[in-house]
Amino acid sequence: MPLNKTKWLFIMGTLFFTLLFAMYIHLTSGVFTMTTPEVFKTLLRIDSTEQFDLVIFDFRLPRIITAALVGMGLAMAGVVLQGITKNALADPGIIGINAGAGCAIVIFMFFFNMELINVEINSLVKILIVPIFGFVGGAIAAAIILVISYKHGRMDMQRLILTGIAINTGFSAVTLFWSLKMDEGDYQAAAIWMNGSIYNSNWYFVNAMLPWLIILGVYIYRKTYLLDYFQLEEETVTSLGISIEKEKIKLMLASVGLVSACVSVSGSIGFIGLMAPHIARQLVGIHHRYMMPVSLFIGAVLLVFSDYVAKTVFSPVELSVGIVVSLVGIPYFLYLLVKSKG
């Protein structure tokens, strides 16, 4: 389907404003009430007060930015995984990469006694090391999935998901085991983080994520044409002179890296990588060059909005955003399962 450039620009524009709107309602609402002019004045640095600065710049803004970045990272990883596996139901959370990364990070936290909540300013290096650990765990999970679900040179769709579910359970058990060995303070930090929450985010987390997102994002975007080719028959792709398996593994590792960076900041959040690419495909078709940016924005909007819901719906008690996303994502998953042909 040839895509109308104007239509694409229109969709991108709409999404951009939706994201701004989601950020706006997130920014203005909360336990500490602020009026709209106050928010704008603080943002634009017009006779700002210390109190408003603190709420906006130290609490709400980093949280919103983190949510948007995590949403983008997970959406991109989802696009890649769905493209590689030709499996419309693949999602980093469902196939266990989140759990693998999370498990490695908890083990890291156990050995280095690092509380993720109170990060000191000079510990940027420390934070950068967490996603690397996550990457190892995520890559192990991905490797197990590949070994189990590849048979006769192809990946079986149902088996992939089932394997993922099993790996999820296994890694969660190991994570629970290690987290129980922690002392109380660390356990608290780990428990909050594991449930998938971004409410104690700060600028260092944003800084820690950004390099991963930018480098891997650019790498993946440059390779999007491959994702288009992967949808063809294997023989056709090989005859184009592309070594499929190698490229697939590279892209897979890149998406594991993205997921690990996200998980190290926000804990395990599933289903964004499932929903965003699907909605994007409905909107702009299957060309990955167009579909990818759209799904990034959708991922960001979904997560910012979910975080807003998590923050406000039971206020003053906060839900973890991971649960809010699952409550929307699981029915969507089931719907896709119904639609997919047996």
Partner 1 sequence: MNFSYRHFILFSTIMPVLIVVVTIMSISMGTKSISLETINDAFIRYDKENIDHQIIWSGRLPRALAVLCVGAFLATAGAIMQGITRNFLASPSIMGVTDGSAFFITMAFVFLPGISSFNLVLLSMLGSLFGGALVFGFASIIKNGLSPVRLAIIGTVIGTFISSIGTAIAMYHQISQTITMWYNSKVHMLEMELIYLCVPIGMIGLILALSLARAVTITALGEDVAVGLGQNTRIVKVLSMLAVAILTGTAVALVGKIAFVGLVVPHIVRMLVGVDYRVIIPCSAVMGAFFLAGCDLLSRYINFPFETPIGVVTALIGVPFFLYLIRRKGGEKYAA
The reply to whether 331 sits near partner 1 by the rule CB under 8 A is: yes
Does 159 participate in binding partner 1 (rule CB under 8 A)? yes
Three-state SS for the chain is CCCCHHHHHHHHHHHHHHHHHHHHHHHHCCCCCCCHHHHHHHHCCCCCCHHHHHHHHHHHHHHHHHHHHHHHHHHHHHHHHHHHHCCCCCCCCCCCHHHHHHHHHHHHHHHHCCCCCCCCHHHHHHHHHHHHHHHHHHHHHHHHHHHHHEECCEECHHHHHHHHHHHHHHHHHHHHHHHHHCCHHHHHHHHHHHCCCCCCCCHHHHHHHHHHHHHHHHHHHHCHHHHHHHCCCHHHHHHCCCCHHHHHHHHHHHHHHHHHHHHHHHCCCCCHHHHHHHHHHHHHCCCHHHHHHHHHHHHHHHHHHHHHHHHHCCCCCCCCHHHHHHHHHHHHHHHHHHHCCC
**Site residue total, partner 1 (CB under 8 A):** 38
169 scored as a contact of partner 1 (CB under 8 A): yes
Asked if 323 interacts with partner 1 (CB under 8 A), we say yes
With binding defined as CB under 8 A, does residue 334 bind partner 1?
A: yes
CB of 137 vs partner 1, minimal distance in Å: 15
Query: Of 58-66, 227-235, 293-301, 334-342, which part binds partner 1 (CB under 8 A)?
Result: 334-342
Q: Does residue 158 touch partner 1 according to CB under 8 A?
A: yes
Q: How far is the CB of 75 from partner 1 (least distance, A)?
A: 20
User: Is position 268 an interface residue for partner 1 (rule: CB under 8 A)?
Assistant: no
**Using rule CB under 8 A, residue 337 touches partner 1:** yes
**Piece of 99-107, 224-232, 237-245, 324-332 that binds partner 1 (CB under 8 A):** 324-332
Is residue 182 involved in binding partner 1 (CB under 8 A)?
Answer: no
- How near is the Cβ of 303 to partner 1 at its closest, in Å? 16
> Based on CB atoms, which residue is closest to partner 1, 2 or 153?
153
Give me the residues paired with residue 151 across strands.
154
Q: How far is the CB of 109 from partner 1 (least distance, A)?
A: 16
Distance CA 291, CA 89 (A): 17
CB of 155 to partner 1, least distance (A): 11
Rounded Cα gap, residues 259 and 139, in angstroms: 10
The binder of partner 1 chosen from 31, 176, 214, 240 (CB under 8 A): 176
- Please report whether residue 173 would count as binding partner 1 according to CB under 8 A: yes
Comparing CB distances to partner 1, the nearer of 42 and 268 is 268
- Site for partner 1 (CB under 8 A): which residue of 30, 59, 143, 170? 170
Q: Which is closer to partner 1, CB of 76 or CB of 81?
A: 81
Q: Is 156 left (phi over 0), alpha (psi -120 to 50) or beta?
A: beta
Report if residue 156 touches partner 1, rule: CB under 8 A.
Answer: yes
Report the residue number, 17 or 314, with the smaller CB distance to partner 1: 314
The site for partner 1 (CB under 8 A) is made up of: 144, 148, 151, 156, 158-159, 161-163, 165-167, 169-170, 172-174, 176-177, 180-181, 314, 317-320, 323-324, 326-327, 330-331, 333-334, 337-338, 341-342
